[in-house]
Amino acid sequence: MQGSYYDTYRYVLSTQVARCETGGALVGTPVLSAGTTWSSGSTAVDGNEAIVVLVGRLCGLLNGSEQCLTNPDPTYGLPANGESFATAYRTPLNSSNDDWDVPVEEVNGSWYVNVPA
């Protein structure tokens, strides 16, 4: 899995796409730009849920100016130090500041991003 922000829509359930179109909720940052490039790092899987770590650069407009964040850590946000998978999975769903660890779920044999409400 790699590409630009616009490529990520194909990884979102059709019932959740509207959440992405209202403020860039896909990975929790406001309106990501086409300058965003990423690839997948490490993953953790528990049943039909998984956490996929994004590695790369996320760029977007914040307070009227283009800003970019980078993540070189392919294990960012994965369960560590005794943290449960369930806790690590919920963290990006409950935080608008958690852009690198993406919760995904398996539906009918395909994996899709679980977009925060």
Over the chain, what is the mean pLDDT?
78
Summarize pLDDT for 42-99 with one digit per residue, the tens. Answer: 999 999 999 999 899 888 776 777 788 889 999 999 999 999 999 999 998 887 666 7
The string of DSSP codes covering 60-114 is: EEETTEEEEEEE--TTTTS--TT--HHHHHHHHHS-TT--SEEEEEEETTEEEE-
pLDDT of residue 5: 52
pLDDT of residue 114: 85
Neighbours of 3 (CB within 10 A): 14
| Separation in Å, CA 93 to CA 22, 89, 109 | 16, 7, 22
pLDDT of residue 19: 64
β-sheet bridge partners, residue 80: none
Quick check: 68 and 59 in contact, CB under 8 A? yes
The range of the structural domain enclosing residue 65 comes to 2-113
Neighbours of 58 (CB within 10 A): 23
Domain count for the chain, please give it: 1
Q: pTM score, two decimals?
A: 0.74
User: How far is residue 44's CA from residue 63's CA, in Å, rounded to a whole number?
Assistant: 34
Average pLDDT over residues 90-116: 84
Output the six-digit token pair for 114.
């679980």
For residue 112, is pLDDT > 60? yes
